[in-house]
Amino acid sequence: GEDVEQSLFLSVREGDSSVINCTYTDSSSTYLYWYKQEPGAGLQLLTYIFSNMDMKQDQRLTVLLNKKDKHLSLRIADTQTGDSAIYFCAESIRRTGNQFYFGTGTSLTVIP
Amino acid sequence: DAGITQSPRHKVTETGTPVTLRCHQTENHRYMYWYRQDPGHGLRLIHYSYGVKDTDKGEVSDGYSVSRSKTEDFLLTLESATSSQTSVYFCAISDGAGQGGPGSQYFGPGTRLTVL
């Protein structure tokens, strides 16, 4: 499968910004997505970015895409304890019929 | 939330027994997917469907089969369960468009399967 990599763990203090990083290998990605998974639950779509965009902002979330380096990041401003969860990045690849390839997930812990 | 349910939510079975997991949607979405989630691997696609009776293999399809006789139901079958198939299984749906971005997938709550 395609390689989509994320660091496994991140801890931040409540009120600080969190930055979750993701690298991918396939340059034919069409869209890139961020999902959130809370314990015992399915994945919840947070946001997405089209592959020809550099940045997308949605309230406390900012997505940055560096297509040259195949690097995607998710910034969460004013992180709250309710943001504690596992965050997955995913890419959809046109040549595979827009199948999704997920990263391994980053477990975010917010310290009060 | 997208109307997706999975049944059962938890199952314990023995090696060699057949197991069928069901995904049911009320959104009338064309595409349905089965993933497994394992530590260190994220989610990996098992099979997907792009319409009634139209299915295809994903990245980790060995040992699994699927069927889709109605738009709303997508079944995943383990013909003879093995311990390596112990995992959490997620169903997802997509209409190929959607407000979440074209091709955005929406996930069910998951089924935790343990094969002893």
Predicted pLDDT of residue B97: 61
Q: Is the pLDDT of residue A96 over 60?
A: yes
Q: Is the pLDDT of residue A56 over 60?
A: yes
Cβ-based neighbour number of residue A25 at 10 Å: 12
Average pLDDT, chain A: 91
Closest among A96, A30, A82, A107 to B97, alpha carbons compared: A30
The pair of structure tokens assigned to B65 is: 């089969």
What is the mean pLDDT of the segment spanning A37-63? 92
Give tens-digit pLDDT for A28-37. 777 899 999 9
Shortest Cα distance, chain A CAs vs residue B103, angstroms: 7
Q: Is the pLDDT of residue B100 over 60?
A: no
Shortest Cα distance, chain B CAs vs residue A43, angstroms: 6
Distance CA A27, CA A32 (A): 11
For residue B31, give the chain A residue with the closest CA. A99
Q: Is the pLDDT of residue A3 over 70?
A: yes
Q: Is the pLDDT of residue A98 over 80?
A: no
Give tens-digit pLDDT for B55-71. 999 989 999 999 999 99
Predicted pLDDT of residue B109: 94
Distance CA B10, CA B112 (A): 5
Under a CB-based contact definition with an 8 Å cutoff, are residues A30 and A93 in contact? yes
Decide: helix, strand or coil at residue A95.
helix
Distance CA A24, CA A40 (A): 27
Answer yes or no: do B110 and A50 touch at CB < 8 A: no
Burial of B95 (0-12, 13-18, 19+ CB in 10 A): middle
Give tens-digit pLDDT for A64-95. 999 999 999 999 999 999 999 999 999 887 77
